[in-house]
Amino acid sequence: MTSVHEARSALGRRLRELRRQAGMTGKQLAETLSWAPSKVSKLENGRQTPTDGDIHGWTQVTGSQGEAAALLASLHTLEVQHSEWQRQLKSGLASHQRELADLDVQTKFFRVFEATVIPGLLQTGEYARARFVQGATTLKVPNDINEAVRARARRQEILYRPDKRFHFVLTEAALRFRLCTPEIMLGQLDRLISLSALPHVKLGIIGFETPYVVAPWHGFWILDRERVMVETYSAELNLAQPQEVELYGGVFEQLAAVASYGRAARAVITRVIDDLAPEAAEDGS
């Protein structure tokens, strides 16, 4: 979050400079643009991200139209770093899956840690549908769930490409959280066992009994050595500062080092299946 905050603050400082160069107070600028007085302060202090329209209005009023292109470039870079779900999913869930598919094609090595959910590339259609339903409901975005499920399934074809490598690390909690029905979760767990046998997929499971070296604060994806993706409730963060990528790489290695693999990982999954199966049978009776 530090680099995102710094980028937003830098953009705000530049907007303040342009206002002052124009000899305007914040109140005068807000009145001219018919904004709430607090909006100017929020933008200048990095507490609110401007829109394209805000940038155009600001530069027009301050007589600095020549700065608009550079400011918009800074804004769009910031939007990539901190991409709010409401903006990103305004055209639906499927479009975001297609954007991720383009990113998948460019990436050679995926390092993925998830503490609470099954990663999208490993999800069954039914589990994916449950996740998309929650997302559409929580964020109140267009409901194109069927198309989104199909788009995610197409993304998963990349797991079979010999030029790609995948290292997934999941906590046992991610296998047990009730984010769907027991029947759907049993199918998902079975799929994990199958995918763990793929030649280019390395699947690690951290069992409940395993001591952690570093706390599993949240899930994240490291794409090659170029980008770290983190999902929050409100936004998708894309971290690209070298020190951030290095930090997350080190955290991933520590988490991966305590995970179980191969037969031991499948034993943890099977243990969860055995615990869940009676409940699924009861629900189905």
Q: pLDDT tens digits for 60-101?
A: 999 999 999 888 877 766 666 666 667 768 788 999 899 899
Q: What is the pLDDT of residues 8-62, one digit of tens each?
A: 888 899 999 999 999 999 999 999 999 998 999 999 998 888 888 999 999 999 9
pTM of the complete model: 0.75
Report the alpha-carbon distance of residue 40 to residue 54 in Å, rounded.
Answer: 10
Q: What is the pLDDT of residues 139-187, one digit of tens each?
A: 888 889 999 999 999 999 999 999 999 999 999 999 999 999 999 999 9
Mean pLDDT, range 124-147, rounded to an integer: 92
* Cβ-based burial of 36 (10 A; exposed 0-12, middle 13-18, buried ≥19): exposed
Q: Does the pLDDT at position 261 exceed 50? A: yes
Among 194, 201, 98, which Cα is nearest to 152's?
98
Question: What per-residue confidence (pLDDT) applies to 284?
Answer: 64
Q: Does the pLDDT at position 285 exceed 60? A: no
Residue pointed to by tokens 């094609």: 105
Q: What is the pLDDT of residues 191-222, one digit of tens each?
A: 999 999 999 999 999 999 999 999 999 999 99
Q: Please, which pLDDT band fits residue 1 given cuts at 50, 70 and 90?
A: very low
- Coil, strand, or helix at residue 17? helix
Q: Supply the DSSP string of 128-179, one letter for each residue.
A: HHHHHHHHHHHHT----HHHHHHHHHHHGGGGG-TT-EEEEEEEHHHHHS-S
CB contact set of 52 (below 8 Å; sequence gap of 6+) = 72, 75
Q: Please, which pLDDT band fits residue 242 given cuts at 50, 70 and 90?
A: confident
Angle between helix axes 125-139 and 145-155 (nearest 10 degrees) is 130
The side-by-side arrangement of strands in the sheet containing 82-84 is 82-84, 235-239, 227-231, 220-223, 109-114, 165-171, 201-206
Q: What is the pLDDT of residues 223-235, one digit of tens each?
A: 998 889 998 888 7
Handedness of CA 234, 157, 107, 250 (dihedral sign): positive
Q: Which residues sit opposite 229 in a β-bridge?
A: 221, 238
H helix or E strand, kind and range, residue 74: helix 68-81
**What are the phi and psi torsion angles at 204 (to 5°)?**
-115, 140
